Structure 1
Amino acid sequence: MFMAKLNLVGAALLAAAMPLATGCAPAGSGEPGAAALTPRQAETLDKQLAGKVAGEPTKCLPNFRTLDLVRVSDDILLYRSGSNLVYRNNLKSSCPGLARDSDILVIEQYGSSTCSGDFFHLVDRSSGIRGPTCVFGDFVPYRKPAGDKG
């Protein structure tokens, strides 16, 4: 009798915990634990990667290869290198405030490349107060296929 009650209590606890465990990744996210994009962020990402095909991830991105940084969300940065090549970086974890695009992004760099695992932090533009420290993930190149003029 005691074991039956214990099993019922365990089953009830497990049933109560399931919504909490599955609620860690927002609906619509393509990756476990990734924050869902707002419609505007999804539009920005789609526009920047339109017509491009993902390549093999690379650990480092030489600084001379990038022209422009696009903040998509608190989790995703894009480095544009001309109109035919964009590097997508899914940060190791969320970087609160990155998507606001109002803070200054300061990269702690030691060499001529920015690499997965390198740190950067945000600095409030008006007060100069340092914000969160964030970590780069791998860089995934997105290129237009050969012969694509669009």
Structure 2
Amino acid sequence: MTLTITGTALIRAAALTLLAAPMMASCAPGGATEAGAAALSPKQAEQLDKQLAGKVPGEPVQCLPSYRTTETIRISDNILLYRAGGKLVYRNDLKGSCPGLARDSDIMVVRQFGSSTCEGDFFHLVDRSSGIRGPTCVFGPFVPYRKPAGDAG
């Protein structure tokens, strides 16, 4: 689930972030900053391969209009996919790890300005059952993966 917020909710969220930042930093998993922490598990690698099978990467784009995507797929704590139809998927390698993103149980709250999500925009996770806010994460560039022209699949 993805939720977009604007206006005074952002101001409140920013104030809560400032108050909770020291406490949240102490909760980060120890291995999140170690070399190789971004490696995919066999299951994650299989899912990524399945989603991008038969597609070729294009030039990265800075922003992704919200209306272009129909599904968000969490591959790992570092990689998101945005499906924009059967022949087009955008891959986003986050700027750093987002601990807990791969669990796919927390709600993604995207801080969006306008109708696009852009490289450098922030989002955070919120625990679905307790409502406790998790880490703040940053989008990287959006790389389109398309089926080659003439490919019917």
- TM bracket (short chain): 0.7 to 0.9
Q: Give the % identical residues.
A: 77
- 1:34-83 CA distance string (max 9 Å, x none): 61100110011000000000000000000111000000000000000010
Q: Relative contact order (alpha carbons < 8 A, sep ≥ 6): 1 or 2 greater?
A: 2
Amino acid at match of 1:92: K
Q: Does 1:25 align with 2:35?
A: yes
In the alignment, the residues of structure 2 paired with residue 96 and residue 25 of structure 1 have an alpha-carbon distance, to the nearest angstrom, of: 15
In the alignment, the residues of structure 1 paired with residue 75 and residue 93 of structure 2 have an alpha-carbon distance, to the nearest angstrom, of: 10
Of 133, 137, 150, the residue aligned with 1:134 is 137
Matched with 1:41 is: 44
Matched with 2:147 is: 144
In angstroms, what is the RMSD of aligned CA positions?
A: 0.9
Give the alignment's TM-score, normalised by structure 1: 0.78
Matched with 1:69 is: 72
In the alignment, the residues of structure 2 paired with residue 97 and residue 106 of structure 1 have an alpha-carbon distance, to the nearest angstrom, of: 14
How far residue 149 of structure 1 moved from its aligned partner, in angstroms, is: 1.0
Amino acid at match of 1:62: P
Structure 1 runs not aligned, ≥5 long: 1-23, 27-33
Larger Rg: 1
Count of residues in correspondence between the two structures: 120
Secondary structure of the residue aligned to 1:64 is helix
Q: Does 1:57 align with 2:60?
A: yes
Give the alignment's TM-score, normalised by structure 2: 0.77
Matched with 1:91 is: 94
Structure 2 runs not aligned, ≥5 long: 1-33
